[in-house]
Amino acid sequence: MQERPTTLQFEGAAGIIDCALDWPAATPRNGDSTALQPRGWALLLHPHPLYGGARGNKVVTTLSRACTQAGLLAVRPDFRGVGKSEGEYDEGRGETDDMLALVTQFKQRFPDIAAQHFVLGGFSFGSAVATQTCMRGMQSQAFKTNGLILVGTAVSRFDVAEVPADTLVVHGEQDETVDLQGVFDWARPQDLPVVVVPGASHFFHGKLVALKQLIDSYLRSQLPFR
């Protein structure tokens, strides 16, 4: 088997978008050798770049583990100005443009994977960018998602768009960064359920296992094995 890359660069409006690639483990499911290949991909977005947010954030890597175990190739980009990614922080606007460009380029480079399932996920600032990316992508009919996962949704700090009815929204009961009531106020007009993890802080210290279990269950419901 050809060696799979673990990093990849795409081109955004401000320059390079440097990404980590997490491939699903080559473990056949129920004796089906086709399960060795990704059955889609996930684009997972990190928290605020100006406050230490990067693709190695533990909430983002928890999202990635759930996605790879569900058979997806997980793509974790660094936003503008983080790591090897070029450009400067743009309050979510340029970052959304970059993610739309990344999706287009991914489809060109990995057409077989892109033709299958696509999941978007984000944590904190990354959740706001994920909602804008999802909304603009669907409005332009550039893509459709099989799932949207928002953790610690930063509704009080950034422009968070309306989302599909089957979106998973997870928030910590004791989130000290984004007030839980604000998330309820955003979700209520959409009749959108919010899953609250008791005792969890914004960064889900000591609650990552519970978070992953919620994501695992959601992905099983959204991406049933054939």
User: What confidence score (pLDDT) does residue 224 get?
Assistant: 77
3-state DSSP of the chain: CCCCCCEEEEEECCEEEEEEEECCCCCCECCEHHHHCCCEEEEEECCCHHHCCCCCCHHHHHHHHHHHHCCCEEEEECCCCCCCCCCCCCCCHHHHHHHHHHHHHHHHHCHHHHCCEEEEEEECHHHHHHHHHHHHHHHCCCCCCCEEEEECCCCCCCCCCCCCCCCEEEEECCCCCCCHHHHHHHHHHHCCCCEEECCCCCCCCCCHHHHHHHHHHHHHHHCCCC
pTM, whole model, 2 decimals?
A: 0.93
Return the CATH architecture of domain 7-27+35-222: 3-Layer(aba) Sandwich (3.40)
**pLDDT tier for residue 5 given thresholds of 50, 70 and 90:** confident
What are the boundaries of each domain within the chain? 7-27+35-222
Residue 226 reports pLDDT greater than 70: no
